[in-house]
Amino acid sequence: MAERFAVPGWVPPSALQRKRILDDTRSIAIVGASANPSRASNFVATYLLSTAKAYTLYLVNPRETEILGQPVYPSLQDLPEVPDMVDVFRRSEDLPPIAQEAVELGSKTFWAQLGLWSVEAAQVASAAGLDVVMDRCTKIEHARFAGGLHLAGFNTGVITARR
Amino acid sequence: MTDHEWGFRTRALHAGARPDPTTGARAVPIFQTSSYVFEDTTDAADLFALQKYGMIYSRLGNPTVSAFEERMASLDGALGAVAASSGHAAEFLAIATLAEAGDHIVSSSHLYGGTITMFSNTLGRFGIETTFVDPTDVDGFAAAIQPNTKVLFTETIGNPSGAIADIEALADVAHSNGLPLAIDSTFSTPALCRPMEWGADIVVHSATKFIGGHGTSLGGVVTEAGTFDWGSGRFANMTEPVPTYNDLRWWDNFGEYSYLTKLRNDHLRDLGSTLAPMHAFLFLQGLETLDYRMAGHIANARAVAAWLEADARVAWVNYAGLPSSPHHDMATKYLPDGPGAVFTFGLAGGRAAGASFIESLEMISHLANVGDAKTLILHPASTTHSQLTDEQMQAGAVSPDMVRISVGLEDLDDILYDLDRALEAAHG
């Protein structure tokens, strides 16, 4: 696990800000998608395909052609559209060039998965106006607000009398 | 949804219980069902592989139980919770998630007798060794830590000794050794103390007691803070591949959610000590009034303890709410609203007078429980702690003349009336 050094000019988004990011996202590119069902990227892709069907999901990995029945793209540039969110499952040291790519493409959010942290990547993306989330799981964060985490006994912080 | 921080009493009424989306039911429905229909075969496979959240079978989860779990997590200030069929089951699950044959735990010696027996007997036979130490001796916990130690364990308020854990100091000892601190907080409930605010990582409650408050249902719950680093290398079963779930690794896949996800999907799955939906529903009713009830329990307990202490027929009273208690300072720090409503005393005339006293009570119930709305009384040495050896009893500060009272919510005058009559009969 990379050490979580403070990022000048960036504050990790609160639960509400993370909910807003997920609500505003329509397309997600998973960079570092794996065909191995024990890997977190495969887990998250399975969850998003089955539970969060409102998202258009793109899988990126130059060494794969098909995962979970979905086409796999060699790079972010090869996607048919600019993804709203670039969700990275690579080593922390690989994050800065991917953040730069997300900025150049015009994505809205740079998201680094659980256990990942890069001060440089966060600075590159947040300086360009992207929302930045690090060391968080998109599956867990989506489930926090969509009800899945509640069913698993987790504290969602949701208090409402609305149906 | 707003960024507002909801207060304790609001969360006791609302957390985990939004209106049912299908029917609009405002109360939490009792989902009295063993199992749940899958959407299709892919849905079923994804659920079984933990690749999506949802209900499979009520041994692993049930929507009524989920509401209770989230409410407990909210009140404890925790990341999440897993409920169990009893407080004992919750304790076993809390330990089983961390330790296996060849491992070691360090525990307070002042625990509820049944917990001491579980640790020394069942855990011992499963190859998990426990070193018991005086809960007031923080250095003793530190000295007992071994390379294979997996957790430090104590009670917020010792049963029945009344010793108050120095949670902050114990958390420092645990964390500086790369270990989590687990606390049984049954006697205090989240209304009086939230151990995670002082650094505890895991909290266990018997919901049977004050959380329900009605003495109708058995249940327990484990909550976890989600801030402990399970990836340090000391907890191989958090970081090694899990064959039963396609070789996923709890820490890699679930991060801060690892401990509770493993507890539910490894151990509740295997042990089956699940909370029943009806009991979860009854605990939810109890939680709604928890803060008010605890205030009432404490007001009565303080008055009863002071009355007993002033009475010549009573040899000693041990209640951390009394200035005479050696635990008074610690109670003032960790339990500023009051150190619960369970305490002990001894009669002039020792064990024989105590037995006569208990048998002479009219309204106060002689039974083996605490935390009922009704006042309860017990002789620990011949009941809850009777399976302990003489040495264990001494280490647990259980004396032969000790009477344990759980002060209820009756009119104070009536509690004192009944105690007075029985004291008179015992000394008649």
The enclosing domain of B211 has a CATH number of 3.40.640.10
- Long-range own/partner contacts, residues B388-396 (CB < 8 A, 24 or more apart): B388/B113, B388/B116, B388/B117, B392/B109, B392/B113, B392/B116, B392/B120, B392/B132, B395/B109, B395/B110, B395/B132, B395/B134, B396/B109, B396/B110, B396/B111, B396/B113, B396/B116, B396/B158, B396/B161
- B347 exposure class (CB count in 10 Å sphere: 0-12, 13-18, 19+): buried
Q: Would an 8 Å CB–CB cutoff place B48 in contact with chain A?
A: no
pLDDT digits (tens, 9 = 90+) for B252-282: 889 889 999 999 999 999 999 999 999 999 9
B168-183 average pLDDT score: 98
**CATH number of the domain enclosing B336:** 3.90.1150.10
- B163: Cβ contacts below 8 Å, ≥ 6 apart: B108, B110, B135, B136, B157, B327, B397
Q: Would an 8 Å CB–CB cutoff place A53 in contact with chain B?
A: no
pLDDT digits (tens, 9 = 90+) for B323-358: 999 999 999 999 999 999 999 999 998 888 888 999
Asked if B53 and A157 come within 8 Å (Cβ–Cβ), the reply is no
Is B3 a domain residue? no
pLDDT digits (tens, 9 = 90+) for B183-226: 999 999 999 999 999 999 999 999 999 999 999 999 999 999 99
Query: What is residue B142's three-state secondary structure?
Result: helix
Structural domains of chain A, with CATH: 15-137 (3.40.50.720)
Q: Do B340 and B279 share a structural domain? A: no
Token look-up 């009863």 returns: B304
Is B95 a domain residue? yes
Asked if B241 and A38 come within 8 Å (Cβ–Cβ), the reply is yes
pLDDT digits (tens, 9 = 90+) for A63-88: 999 999 999 999 999 999 999 999 99
pLDDT digits (tens, 9 = 90+) for A18-56: 989 999 999 999 999 999 988 999 989 999 998 888 899
* DSSP structure class, residue A76: G
Q: Do B338 and B278 share a structural domain? A: no
pLDDT digits (tens, 9 = 90+) for B354-387: 889 999 999 999 999 999 999 999 988 878 777 8
Confidence class of residue B3 from pLDDT cuts 50, 70 and 90?
A: low
pLDDT digits (tens, 9 = 90+) for B24-71: 999 999 999 999 999 999 999 989 988 889 999 999 999 999 999 999
User: How far is residue B403's CA from residue B426's CA, in Å, rounded to a whole number?
Assistant: 13
Token look-up 């690989």 returns: A94
Number of residue pairs across A and B with CB atoms under 8 Å?
A: 123
Q: Do B218 and B180 share a structural domain? A: yes
The average confidence (pLDDT) of chain B is 95
Q: Would an 8 Å CB–CB cutoff place B264 in contact with chain A?
A: yes
Task: State if pTM tops 0.90.
Answer: yes
Answer yes or no: are the C-beta atoms of B290 and B8 closer than 8 Å. Answer: no
User: How far is residue B357's CA from residue B313's CA, in Å, rounded to a whole number?
Assistant: 11
- B66, B79, B253: residue with CB nearest A150: B66
HEC secondary structure over B204-215: EEECCCCCCCCC
What is the domain count for chain B? Answer: 2
Please give the share of chain B, as a percent, with pLDDT higher than 70: 99
User: How far is residue B111's CA from residue B118's CA, in Å, rounded to a whole number?
Assistant: 11
Residue in chain A nearest B79 by alpha carbon:
A155
For residue B89, the enclosing domain spans 8-286
Is B153 a domain residue? yes
Which of B286, B303, B335 corresponds to the end of one domain?
A: B286
Asked if B55 and A115 come within 8 Å (Cβ–Cβ), the reply is no
B314 closest CA partner among B265, B285, B350, B360: B350
Angstroms from A118 CA to nearest CA on chain B: 17
Please tell me the predicted confidence (pLDDT) of residue A1.
52
Q: Do B337 and B262 share a structural domain? A: no
